[in-house]
Amino acid sequence: ENRSASAFARKGKSKEDISEISESPPEAPAFVLPVLDGITGLPAEIVAKRDVDALVQLLVASSDLALHMQIMFALRNYATSDENTRARIGKADGIQTIVFAMQIHRGPEPCNALLQELAMWTLWNLAMCPVNSVRMSGSSALAATLDAMVTHVSVAGVQEQGCWLLVYLVWNDLHCRQRARLCSAQDVVYSAMCAHPHHQGVQQYAQQCLHHLEDGPNDREPLNLAETVPTQALSQSIFLNSLRLLRK
Protein backbone atom coordinates (compact mmCIF):
# COMPACT_ATOMS: atom_id res chain seq x y z
CA GLU A 1 0.00 0.00 0.00
CA ASN A 2 1.33 3.43 -0.99
CA ARG A 3 1.76 5.85 1.88
CA SER A 4 2.62 9.53 1.84
CA ALA A 5 2.13 12.67 3.90
CA SER A 6 -1.46 12.07 5.03
CA ALA A 7 -1.17 8.32 5.57
CA PHE A 8 -0.25 8.71 9.20
CA ALA A 9 -2.32 8.61 12.38
CA ARG A 10 -5.63 10.44 12.44
CA LYS A 11 -8.06 10.73 15.31
CA GLY A 12 -11.25 8.78 14.68
CA LYS A 13 -14.23 10.98 13.82
CA SER A 14 -17.77 9.90 13.11
CA LYS A 15 -19.69 11.30 10.15
CA GLU A 16 -23.13 10.59 11.60
CA ASP A 17 -25.23 12.52 9.13
CA ILE A 18 -23.68 13.56 5.84
CA SER A 19 -26.81 15.49 4.89
CA GLU A 20 -25.99 18.05 7.57
CA ILE A 21 -22.87 19.03 5.63
CA SER A 22 -25.09 20.65 2.99
CA GLU A 23 -26.10 23.21 5.62
CA SER A 24 -22.75 23.78 7.30
CA PRO A 25 -19.10 23.59 6.19
CA PRO A 26 -17.46 20.14 6.21
CA GLU A 27 -15.78 19.22 9.48
CA ALA A 28 -12.07 18.84 8.83
CA PRO A 29 -10.49 15.46 9.66
CA ALA A 30 -7.68 15.52 12.20
CA PHE A 31 -4.74 14.84 9.89
CA VAL A 32 -1.45 14.98 11.78
CA LEU A 33 1.68 16.54 10.32
CA PRO A 34 4.78 14.38 10.79
CA VAL A 35 7.76 15.49 12.83
CA LEU A 36 9.84 16.94 10.06
CA ASP A 37 11.79 20.18 9.81
CA GLY A 38 10.44 21.34 6.48
CA ILE A 39 11.41 25.02 6.76
CA THR A 40 15.14 24.81 7.46
CA GLY A 41 16.11 26.52 4.20
CA LEU A 42 13.76 29.51 4.54
CA PRO A 43 15.00 32.95 5.70
CA ALA A 44 14.88 33.03 9.49
CA GLU A 45 13.26 36.46 9.65
CA ILE A 46 10.38 35.35 7.44
CA VAL A 47 9.74 32.28 9.57
CA ALA A 48 10.01 34.24 12.82
CA LYS A 49 7.49 36.85 11.65
CA ARG A 50 5.22 34.30 9.94
CA ASP A 51 5.41 36.63 6.94
CA VAL A 52 2.99 34.93 4.54
CA ASP A 53 3.36 37.70 1.93
CA ALA A 54 7.10 37.07 1.75
CA LEU A 55 6.57 33.31 1.54
CA VAL A 56 4.18 33.71 -1.37
CA GLN A 57 6.67 36.00 -3.14
CA LEU A 58 9.45 33.46 -2.59
CA LEU A 59 7.31 30.72 -4.11
CA VAL A 60 6.51 32.80 -7.20
CA ALA A 61 10.13 33.85 -7.70
CA SER A 62 11.47 30.29 -7.83
CA SER A 63 10.75 27.02 -9.61
CA ASP A 64 12.91 24.93 -7.27
CA LEU A 65 11.02 21.92 -5.97
CA ALA A 66 12.90 21.70 -2.67
CA LEU A 67 12.21 25.37 -1.87
CA HIS A 68 8.57 24.99 -2.86
CA MET A 69 8.28 21.97 -0.58
CA GLN A 70 9.63 23.95 2.36
CA ILE A 71 7.31 26.88 1.65
CA MET A 72 4.36 24.50 1.35
CA PHE A 73 5.16 22.98 4.76
CA ALA A 74 5.23 26.47 6.27
CA LEU A 75 2.00 27.62 4.58
CA ARG A 76 0.24 24.43 5.60
CA ASN A 77 1.27 25.00 9.21
CA TYR A 78 0.08 28.61 9.11
CA ALA A 79 -3.19 27.71 7.35
CA THR A 80 -4.16 25.43 10.23
CA SER A 81 -3.48 28.02 12.94
CA ASP A 82 -6.36 30.50 12.86
CA GLU A 83 -8.92 32.24 10.66
CA ASN A 84 -6.95 35.47 10.48
CA THR A 85 -3.85 33.75 9.12
CA ARG A 86 -5.91 31.87 6.55
CA ALA A 87 -7.41 35.17 5.40
CA ARG A 88 -3.94 36.76 5.19
CA ILE A 89 -2.67 33.94 2.97
CA GLY A 90 -5.66 34.31 0.70
CA LYS A 91 -5.29 38.09 0.51
CA ALA A 92 -1.60 37.64 -0.43
CA ASP A 93 -2.74 35.66 -3.51
CA GLY A 94 -1.59 32.48 -1.80
CA ILE A 95 -4.29 30.29 -3.36
CA GLN A 96 -3.39 30.86 -6.98
CA THR A 97 0.31 30.77 -6.06
CA ILE A 98 -0.09 27.31 -4.52
CA VAL A 99 -1.97 26.21 -7.63
CA PHE A 100 0.93 27.60 -9.68
CA ALA A 101 3.34 25.37 -7.74
CA MET A 102 1.07 22.36 -8.40
CA GLN A 103 1.10 23.12 -12.13
CA ILE A 104 4.87 23.41 -12.52
CA HIS A 105 5.52 20.23 -10.48
CA ARG A 106 2.94 18.02 -12.15
CA GLY A 107 5.20 15.16 -13.24
CA PRO A 108 4.78 11.56 -12.03
CA GLU A 109 7.87 11.56 -9.78
CA PRO A 110 7.33 10.63 -6.09
CA CYS A 111 8.68 13.96 -4.85
CA ASN A 112 6.09 15.75 -7.00
CA ALA A 113 3.37 13.60 -5.46
CA LEU A 114 4.38 14.76 -1.99
CA LEU A 115 4.23 18.40 -3.04
CA GLN A 116 0.81 17.91 -4.66
CA GLU A 117 -0.48 16.29 -1.49
CA LEU A 118 0.79 19.09 0.75
CA ALA A 119 -0.58 21.71 -1.64
CA MET A 120 -4.09 20.23 -1.56
CA TRP A 121 -3.82 19.83 2.21
CA THR A 122 -3.02 23.55 2.44
CA LEU A 123 -5.80 24.54 0.04
CA TRP A 124 -8.62 22.83 1.91
CA ASN A 125 -7.43 24.46 5.13
CA LEU A 126 -7.53 27.84 3.36
CA ALA A 127 -11.02 27.03 2.04
CA MET A 128 -12.27 26.96 5.64
CA CYS A 129 -12.21 30.76 5.42
CA PRO A 130 -15.38 31.88 3.53
CA VAL A 131 -13.56 34.62 1.61
CA ASN A 132 -10.93 32.13 0.50
CA SER A 133 -13.61 29.69 -0.58
CA VAL A 134 -14.89 32.31 -3.02
CA ARG A 135 -11.36 33.01 -4.24
CA MET A 136 -10.75 29.29 -4.73
CA SER A 137 -13.86 28.79 -6.84
CA GLY A 138 -12.52 31.41 -9.23
CA SER A 139 -9.04 29.91 -9.39
CA SER A 140 -7.59 26.89 -11.17
CA ALA A 141 -7.68 24.81 -7.98
CA LEU A 142 -10.28 22.37 -9.32
CA ALA A 143 -8.34 21.58 -12.49
CA ALA A 144 -5.05 21.28 -10.60
CA THR A 145 -6.63 18.93 -8.05
CA LEU A 146 -8.09 16.60 -10.67
CA ASP A 147 -4.83 16.65 -12.61
CA ALA A 148 -2.85 15.66 -9.49
CA MET A 149 -5.26 12.84 -8.71
CA VAL A 150 -5.05 11.46 -12.25
CA THR A 151 -1.24 11.71 -12.35
CA HIS A 152 -0.71 10.12 -8.91
CA VAL A 153 -3.60 7.67 -8.77
CA SER A 154 -1.44 5.08 -6.97
CA VAL A 155 -0.52 7.45 -4.10
CA ALA A 156 -3.12 7.15 -1.34
CA GLY A 157 -2.23 10.46 0.30
CA VAL A 158 -2.81 12.41 -2.91
CA GLN A 159 -6.18 10.72 -3.41
CA GLU A 160 -7.21 11.28 0.21
CA GLN A 161 -6.34 14.98 0.27
CA GLY A 162 -7.73 15.44 -3.24
CA CYS A 163 -11.10 13.96 -2.33
CA TRP A 164 -11.33 16.09 0.80
CA LEU A 165 -10.41 19.26 -1.12
CA LEU A 166 -13.07 18.41 -3.71
CA VAL A 167 -15.62 18.19 -0.90
CA TYR A 168 -14.73 21.75 0.12
CA LEU A 169 -14.89 22.97 -3.48
CA VAL A 170 -18.30 21.54 -4.37
CA TRP A 171 -20.32 21.12 -1.16
CA ASN A 172 -21.98 24.54 -1.32
CA ASP A 173 -21.01 25.92 -4.74
CA LEU A 174 -23.37 24.93 -7.53
CA HIS A 175 -21.19 26.48 -10.23
CA CYS A 176 -18.08 24.63 -9.04
CA ARG A 177 -20.10 21.43 -8.73
CA GLN A 178 -21.19 21.71 -12.36
CA ARG A 179 -17.63 22.45 -13.49
CA ALA A 180 -16.40 19.41 -11.56
CA ARG A 181 -18.92 17.17 -13.29
CA LEU A 182 -17.94 18.54 -16.71
CA CYS A 183 -14.28 17.82 -15.86
CA SER A 184 -15.16 14.16 -15.08
CA ALA A 185 -14.54 14.55 -11.35
CA GLN A 186 -16.80 11.61 -10.59
CA ASP A 187 -14.67 9.32 -12.77
CA VAL A 188 -11.52 10.55 -11.04
CA VAL A 189 -13.00 9.90 -7.60
CA TYR A 190 -14.24 6.46 -8.62
CA SER A 191 -10.71 5.65 -9.83
CA ALA A 192 -9.35 6.67 -6.42
CA MET A 193 -11.76 4.29 -4.69
CA CYS A 194 -10.82 1.43 -7.01
CA ALA A 195 -7.09 2.06 -6.60
CA HIS A 196 -7.28 2.12 -2.78
CA PRO A 197 -10.12 -0.21 -1.75
CA HIS A 198 -8.75 -0.73 1.77
CA HIS A 199 -7.75 2.84 2.59
CA GLN A 200 -10.28 4.20 5.07
CA GLY A 201 -9.69 7.87 4.34
CA VAL A 202 -9.85 7.55 0.55
CA GLN A 203 -13.03 5.48 0.72
CA GLN A 204 -14.81 7.77 3.15
CA TYR A 205 -13.93 11.12 1.60
CA ALA A 206 -14.49 9.77 -1.93
CA GLN A 207 -18.01 8.68 -1.00
CA GLN A 208 -18.66 12.02 0.63
CA CYS A 209 -17.41 13.81 -2.49
CA LEU A 210 -19.61 11.68 -4.77
CA HIS A 211 -22.55 12.44 -2.50
CA HIS A 212 -22.14 16.16 -3.23
CA LEU A 213 -21.52 15.61 -6.94
CA GLU A 214 -24.76 13.69 -7.43
CA ASP A 215 -27.71 15.36 -9.13
CA GLY A 216 -30.71 16.32 -7.07
CA PRO A 217 -31.53 18.47 -4.04
CA ASN A 218 -29.32 18.86 -1.00
CA ASP A 219 -31.72 17.04 1.33
CA ARG A 220 -30.84 13.57 0.08
CA GLU A 221 -30.77 10.64 2.47
CA PRO A 222 -27.46 10.56 4.38
CA LEU A 223 -24.84 8.07 3.36
CA ASN A 224 -24.07 5.28 5.81
CA LEU A 225 -20.33 5.83 6.23
CA ALA A 226 -18.25 3.84 8.66
CA GLU A 227 -16.53 5.73 11.45
CA THR A 228 -13.06 6.92 10.58
CA VAL A 229 -10.42 4.75 12.21
CA PRO A 230 -6.82 5.70 12.90
CA THR A 231 -4.36 4.64 10.23
CA GLN A 232 -0.84 3.40 10.82
CA ALA A 233 1.62 6.22 11.43
CA LEU A 234 3.98 6.96 8.57
CA SER A 235 7.54 6.27 9.62
CA GLN A 236 10.03 9.11 9.66
CA SER A 237 12.32 7.17 7.35
CA ILE A 238 9.86 7.60 4.48
CA PHE A 239 10.02 11.37 4.91
CA LEU A 240 13.78 11.34 5.12
CA ASN A 241 13.80 9.39 1.87
CA SER A 242 11.52 12.06 0.35
CA LEU A 243 14.03 14.71 1.36
CA ARG A 244 16.83 12.72 -0.25
CA LEU A 245 14.80 12.61 -3.46
CA LEU A 246 14.41 16.39 -3.33
CA ARG A 247 18.13 16.97 -2.91
CA LYS A 248 19.13 14.85 -5.90
Alpha carbon distance 32, 76 (integer Å): 11
In this structure, the number of other CB atoms found within 10 A of the CB of residue 196 comes to: 22
**pLDDT score for 28:** 63
Higher-pLDDT residue of 226 and 87 is 87
CA angle 56, 77, 4 (to 5 degrees): 105
Q: Where are the alpha helices (DSSP H) in 107-235?
A: 110-126, 130-137, 141-151, 156-170, 174-182, 185-195, 200-213
In the structure, what pLDDT confidence band is assigned to residue 48 with cuts at 50, 70 and 90?
confident
Higher-pLDDT residue of 143 and 14 is 143
In the structure, what pLDDT confidence band is assigned to residue 221 with cuts at 50, 70 and 90?
very low
**pLDDT score for 214:** 82
Residue 180 in contact with residue 169, Cβ under 8 Å? yes
**pLDDT score for 34:** 46
Q: What is the DSSP letter of 12?
A: -
In the structure, what pLDDT confidence band is assigned to residue 188 with cuts at 50, 70 and 90?
very high
Question: Which residue type occupies 172?
Answer: N
Question: Mean pLDDT lowest for which of 30-34, 102-106, 171-175?
Answer: 30-34
pLDDT tens for each residue of 63-107: 999 899 999 989 998 998 889 999 999 999 999 999 999 999 999
Alpha carbon distance 108, 43 (integer Å): 30
Sequence-distant (6+) residues with CB within 8 A of 131 are: 87, 90
What integer is the mean pLDDT of 163-181? 90
In this structure, the number of other CB atoms found within 10 A of the CB of residue 200 comes to: 17
What integer is the mean pLDDT of 18-36? 54
**Whole-prediction pTM:** 0.73
pLDDT tens for each residue of 110-153: 999 999 999 999 999 999 998 998 899 888 999 999 999 999 99
Residue 76 in contact with residue 52, Cβ under 8 Å? no
Helix (H) or strand (E) holding 44: helix 44-49
Residue 6 in contact with residue 164, Cβ under 8 Å? no
**pLDDT score for 29:** 65
